[in-house]
Amino acid sequence: MTIAPAAAQVASRPQRGAPGLGRNRLWLLVAPMAAFFALFFLAPVLSLLADAFDKPRPGSVAPHGEFVLTNFQRFFHLAQYYNSALLTIEISVVSSIVAAILGYPLAFVIAKIERPAWNTLLMILVLASMQLDGVIRLYGMMVLLGDNGLINGTLIRWHYLEKPLPLMYNTFGVIVGTVQITLPFMVLSLIGVIRSIHPSFEEAARSLGASRWRAFRDITLPLTMPGLLAGMLLVFALASSSYVVAALMGGWKVWTLPIHIFERISNSGQWQFGAALSTILFLINISAVFVYQIVSARLTGGRT
């Protein structure tokens, strides 16, 4: 018996009980994440919706099954609440744009730099800011931007100003704090996308007479648009739901939706109305996802 026929016989035999999961059991790999998602996301969101449409009962948390629209009517009838929703959207949009403007050049440099030492150093600087607690970083911003802080104190001491600039406890301070917290997420969203662009694309444009700026505008920027839009969406979500930034940098003078939610639930025990405000904030973020899909489809041709 030769080797070739023997090998053919072995190959033709049916395999028994191959180790590992079969195709019909691959769903078991998803089961832990699905259970975690259902327990810690789906259940709280459904409970939130049940409370939002329940009859207001101060101090009561559990829904009683009475379907009413009182909480949402209160939101739209009182200007302080729907104005806070508009302010939240404004701060989130501006923070996303500013983070994109500041983060794109840094991400471009990190992605294009060829020396490993400099690349590692810049990545460490980006990641190091994420290792510090957000409250500590915001207190550092307060030391820098306060009325008696480093900036105002220096300008007044050098007689450039007579009174301190309003750098904190306003919308500007909240935007600065939000950008400072979310900027690393924008940078990390862009680095991988920029690195994935082959240098030959820009070289081809340069060889056809395009300047470096035009090659970047017509080739690099459109190809990096998916990462840029994804980073802006991430910054928007973080900015719109941030309570700590609005509380510290806004000094309880900038009433965003997270501030109202905390105040209604913590100080007044109005769980149903707080749940309604949380539902509206959730809808704002979901709407931002749909806007992201529409804009990305138009600007990137579906490359998301």
247-277 pLDDT tens trace:
999 988 999 999 999 999 888 888 999 999 9
| pLDDT at position 285 | 94
Mean pLDDT of the chain: 86
Dist. CA 104–CA 190, nearest whole Å: 7
Q: So what CATH class is 64-300?
A: mainly alpha
- What pLDDT band is residue 212 in, cutting at 50, 70 and 90? confident
State how far the alpha carbon of 228 is from the alpha carbons of 37, 61, 101, 183, 220, in Å. Answer: 27, 40, 10, 12, 12
CA distances to 112, 179, 212, 262 from 191, in Å: 9, 18, 20, 36
The predicted-structure confidence for 60-100, as pLDDT tens digits, reads as follows 777 777 888 999 999 999 999 999 999 999 999 999 999 99
Domain ranges for the chain: 64-300
* Tokens matching residue 101: 């403007």
The pLDDT value recorded for residue 162 is 87
CA proximity to 173, closest of 137, 133, 146 = 146
What residue type is 43 in one-letter code?
A: A
The answer to whether the CB of 173 falls within 8 A of the CB of 250 is yes
Roughly how many angstroms between the first and final C-alpha of the chain, as a whole number?
58
CB 223 within 8 A of CB 201: yes
Helices then strands, each counted (H, E), the chain: 15, 0
Residue whose entry in the numeric block shows the structure tokens 């009683």: 64
CA angle 161, 136, 274 (to 5 degrees): 100
Write the pLDDT tens digit of every residue in 126-156.
888 888 888 889 999 999 998 888 999 999 9
Average of per-residue pLDDT across 25-29: 80
DSSP string, 136-204: HHHHHHHHHHSTTSHHHHHHHHTTS-SS----SSSHHHHHHHHHHHHHHHHHHHHHHHHHTS-HHHHHH
